[in-house]
Structure 1
């Protein structure tokens, strides 16, 4: 009698598979945790809201009074007079001067029983004080400029990867009265992965257009702060360089020095003001202007200018229609009575289609965007998803049918697969 025992081979064969599956799951969890760690934490510093008020800071006062409260009031009044003198304002009584002040900013103060020593800032309301200062009119502002503050310290270049004093100085500075329209990212979430020092060295217009579209900007300015510490906590020497544009062009540079780590924030604040003056001067002489190779579809046009453009386009269409009518009437007189007139083409409404493109390399991604934007009838190309080494997806606004778009792509050497309101293309 033969006794057959059940074989254990199936269990032994399933064990390596289970171990492999478990290993893959563990690695996936570790990868997700690493990606979350890259974008989590306190990375971003939200920029303050811009105000058009007139601010004068760094006013030092040293006054006395019968008590601490009176000494402080005397110091604030003295700061208002000094700020008004710095603005070259006309002579007015203190009662009217106080009505022009909207806020007092206490930068540093020491209050004694009868003495008040402080460094203050005075903010004047532009609507009330602008007429007296001759600054009531509107000033020309720049196009929206994406601002990428770069900090170089200890041989490391950082931007939004970690919170740093240079990012904080740009986030907290008040640019309401500046002629530059700064677009200041907060650096939170995925912005810390997208906006890095390496981005400032890119030359691809396709990449820059995608980034500028996300932030509603027309061009980019790059203020660089290179800090060198003589010893930990000791004096700090700063070399500051202003660059702009997708080609990282040099604009100007200057140096500053802080005696200690405590004075570093004040030095960086002065540096931001100096950068603003450099960029404003470049705007005035025509140097700081949007790069013509970048698309400007994202810039908001004022209603007045838009109305003029619409009126000009309507007049042009009317002239074209009148010319077409004259040609038709002259052609009908010379043709036979039995001939049939040629059909008149009607305008086709623009529609949005999804385009999936094989992008095995970054150059293929750039080439696909450039090729799609160069197609006749394409008015806009936006990126829905990017997959270098896989298939990227674009949204294309095209004035025509999907079949016409597919035919145009085939004529340019693309292999095209038509789907439901979408195309898949590859070289």
Structure 2
């Protein structure tokens, strides 16, 4: 008899689809978490790609392209000496540019004074070795401290506030504030304080990508433009554009720049620049922004950078002008009537009593003493809110005898009634 072992039985368990969904496997849960994290990261990336705050909106004087070549015993000493020399050369260049004279005629300032007026040094390009420093630098001079030393006088003509909407064409598609781009960064780096054009630059956050896009710059309707200009505190629009053409990845980049003005996109200037490599694109865009600003400045000086009259809300027709003296006279006449009142004032007690009695009359707003005569007749000038007959009735009702006297009134206290005779 063969020994047998009981065969194991498998218990079948039925699981519905709802239960499978309600009890996800660890792999499914992990995939769901990764998808949620990916969506959140994409949102953060998209939010981070929008918005570039303007770097410098101050009114500092800027001098760029200051070349220095200094040799010293070590790299740090050479660099410090190079910055000192750049401040001296930058001051001479700024003074010559402001006063229209050669750099050699600029007054020599001690290094301590230059340190106090130089706000910052911008490194455009530098090469440092063990004993030599070669660089191209930019110097920012504080406007408040440097203005007195420059000796420049006279008011500078400035434009109306101009809303800036930079447009970059790349790959055949225009981009404004929808995504962070190199052209937007270039206008954020541009130091607008040195320009007579009053640029209104936005950061590109919030509703800016929706309101200030490439399609808006081609919209001719004035009503929407008026709303935008009022919201951003501007009076006109400038649209600097650049169309980028890349020869091959990492190779030369050709930029066609166009300076437009107004809601109709009037072309002020157009030019082409070239960067030999992709690394040189930011420098090319900075140069393009400076040239576009120079084009707007020339248009401003020529009287061509004027606000479109259709962007100004028309006011209602002015009413007929009325002299202010006539208006004040009518208001005073409608408000009160000035009446001179003569009163017998044998002493100061009677003077105070009459003045107090007049102030207590309904409708009299003020009492002034026009002429004082103790022992005779004094004159008061009263302002009464109403006609003279009404004032007369008020005084009679208070026991005064009233007579007409030279355009005014003469009042006396009524004598007491005689006592009744006894029978």
CA drift of 1:67 comes to 1.7
Deviation of residue 85 (structure 1)? 3.3
Answer yes or no: is the 8 Å Cα contact 2:163–2:235 preserved in 1: yes
Q: CA deviation at 1:280?
A: 1.2
Q: Which residue of 1 aligns with 2:144?
A: 127
Cα-to-partner distance string for 1:51-102 (whole Å, 9 max, x where unaligned): 1111112323221111222101111122123323323151304424444322
Q: Does 1:53 align with 2:70?
A: no
Displacement of 1:164: 0.6
Query: 2:220 matched to 1:213?
Result: no
Change (3 A) 1:63 1:293: same
What is the Cα deviation at residue 323 of structure 1?
Answer: 10
2:337 corresponds to 1:321: no
What is the deviation of 1:133?
A: 3.0
- Distance, in Å, in 2 between the alignment partners of 1:320 and 1:46 is 55
From 277, 280, 297, the equivalent of 2:297 is 280
For the residue of structure 2 that corresponds to 1:86, the secondary structure is helix
Matched, 1:43 2:59: no
Shift in CA distance, 115/249, structure 1 to aligned 2, threshold 3 Å: same
SS in 2 for 1:62: strand
Greater Cα radius of gyration, structure 1 or 2 = 2
Query: Is the alpha carbon distance of 1:128 and 1:38 closer, same or farther for their aligned partners in structure 2, counting shifts above 3 Å?
Result: closer
How many aligned positions are there?
A: 280
| 2:76 aligned residue | 69
Q: CA deviation at 1:128?
A: 2.9
Classify the secondary structure of the residue corresponding to 2:192. Answer: coil
Q: Which runs of 4+ in 1 moved over 4 A?
A: 36-39, 322-325
Range moving further from structure 2, 100-109 or 174-183 = 100-109
TM-score normalised according to structure 1 size: 0.60
Change (3 A) 1:152 1:316: farther
Using the TM superposition, give the Cα deviation of residue 42 of structure 1 relative to its aligned residue in structure 2, in angstroms.
2.3
Aligned residue for 2:64, secondary structure, equals strand
In structure 2, what is the Cα distance between the partners aligned to 1:106 and 1:39? 31
2:326 & 2:267 partners in 1: Cα distance? 47
Corresponding residue for 1:408?
A: none
Looking at structure 1, the residues matched to 279 and 286 of structure 2 have their Cα atoms a distance apart, in angstroms, of 13
The root-mean-square deviation of aligned C-alpha atoms, in Å, is 3.1
TM-aligned CA deviation for residue 170 of structure 1? 0.3
- Give the equivalent residue in structure 2 for 1:82: 89
What residue is the counterpart of 1:262 in the other structure?
A: 279
Closer, same or farther: CA 294–125 of 1 in aligned 2, 3 Å? same
Q: Does 1:110 align with 2:116?
A: no
Aligned residue for 1:223? 240
Structure 1 pair 152–177 and aligned structure 2 pair: CA distance change class (3 A) = same
How far apart are residue 169 of structure 1 and its match?
0.4
Q: Which runs of 5+ in 2 are unaligned?
A: 1-39, 97-102, 335-423
Distance 1:139 1:46 in 2: 27
